[in-house]
């Protein structure tokens, strides 16, 4: 017979004090703002960590997070739960049309011979954005065989990055992918019961993934990019953090390179070396 330790029942919800400790830490180290209105959300997301660690209160969880062991062991799983990783293939599709129709014909001609076109999917979540980019850039390569490209995807969530590297998606997730792209770039499982698809090796080999925290890590170790997609990430930051992150992104963007932001993100009134080309598309001057 197997014996397991019974889970301790949770004695309390999260107190405002515990919430403040966690939210202040998350803001300071990851830039994510969590007003008090997000307390229930945070409680819900962290609940499974309490169960897994067999802790009976959020206070005990807080004490663990801020202990030496917790700082070593718990930050990655905690941030996997705190971050919102919602994403889609061909999300805000107008950006990919603009890239294909307007950016690539111009910038590909300016690339030094033998150098790839480099794109950064900054805040790439589970990989749908960088693999969409890979499909679009691969289409361009098929029409212009001398054109080569490389994509970097970065995120703070290790769980999201692992899913991105695996590159296996539920079939309903790939609904937005055009049929001709599905035929070229997605592999179906040999098992008809398995309703997943995998990105073809040809595209997977073009995308690298790294863990990068926009707030604490230096971006200067990365090479410079012809285009940066940083979409639906800045919404989690306050204005000051947004400005400092975009300034650092601009340092990694080549002169004449393009920055794509999410549809609800704005850089109005910020001191940046960018000109606006479309509502959420900017070019470095
Ligand atoms: C909503 S997803 C956006 C994914 C994709 N760019 C899109 O538009 O579909 C936001 C991503 O930003 C990441 N993120 C949040 N704070 C971060 C930080 N401080 N450093 C790096 N990534 C962060 C999250 O982990 C999450 O995967």
Digit-coded pLDDT (tens) for 143-183:
999 999 999 999 999 999 999 999 999 999 999 999 999 99
Q: How far is the CA of 9 from the centre of ligand 1 (A)?
A: 33
Q: How far is the CA of 234 from the centre of ligand 1 (A)?
A: 8
Using a 6 Å CB cutoff, which residues line ligand 1? 30-32, 83-87, 91, 123, 125, 129, 155-157, 160, 212-215, 231-233, 236, 262
Residue 79's nearest CA partner among 127, 125, 18, 10 is 125
Q: How far is the CA of 224 from the centre of ligand 1 (A)?
A: 20
Segment 238-244 shows an average pLDDT of 97
Shortest-distance Cα residue to atom 2 of ligand 1: 85
**Mean predicted lDDT score pLDDT of the chain:** 95
pLDDT at 217: 87
Shortest-distance Cα residue to atom 12 of ligand 1: 123
174: CB partners within 8 A, 6+ apart: 89, 182, 186, 197
**Within 10 Å of residue 240's Cβ, how many Cβ atoms?**
9
Segment 76-84 shows an average pLDDT of 98
pLDDT at 1: 45
> Please, what is the angle between helix 16-30 and helix 39-53, to 10°?
90
Helix %, strand %, coil % for the chain, to 5? Answer: 45, 20, 35
Q: How far is the CA of 69 from the centre of ligand 1 (A)?
A: 26
């Amino acid at each position: 017979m197997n014996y397991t330790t019974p889970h301790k029942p949770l004695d309390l919800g999260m107190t405002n004090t515990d919430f403040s400790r966690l939210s202040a830490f998350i803001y300071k180290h990851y830039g994510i703002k969590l007003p008090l209105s997000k307390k229930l959300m945070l409680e819900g997301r962290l609940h499974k960590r309490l169960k897994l660690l067999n802790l009976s209160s959020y206070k005990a969880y807080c004490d663990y997070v801020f202990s030496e062991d917790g700082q070593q062991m718990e930050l990655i799983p905690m941030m996997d739960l705190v971050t919102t990783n919602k994403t889609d293939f061909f999300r805000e599709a107008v950006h990919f049309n603009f890239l294909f129709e307007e950016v690539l014909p111009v910038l590909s001609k300016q690339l030094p011979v033998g150098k790839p076109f480099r794109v950064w999917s900054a805040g790439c979540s589970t990989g749908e954005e960088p693999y969409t980019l890979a499909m679009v850039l691969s289409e361009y390569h098929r029409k212009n065989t001398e054109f080569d490209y490389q994509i970097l995807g970065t995120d703070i969530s290790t769980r999201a990055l692992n899913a991105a590297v695996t590159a296996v998606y539920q079939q309903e997730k790939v609904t937005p992918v055009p049929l001709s792209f599905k035929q070229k770039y997605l592999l179906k499982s040999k098992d008809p019961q398995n309703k997943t698809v995998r990105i073809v090796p040809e595209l997977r080999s073009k995308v690298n993934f790294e863990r990068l925290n926009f707030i604490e890590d230096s971006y200067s170790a990365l090479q410079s990019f012809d285009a940066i997609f940083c979409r639906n990430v800045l919404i989690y930051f306050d204005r000051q953090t947004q400005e400092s992150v975009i300034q650092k992104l601009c340092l990694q963007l080549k002169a004449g390179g393009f920055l794509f932001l999410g549809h609800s993100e704005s850089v109005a009134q910020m001191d940046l070396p960018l000109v606006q080309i479309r509502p959420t598309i900017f070019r470095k001057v």
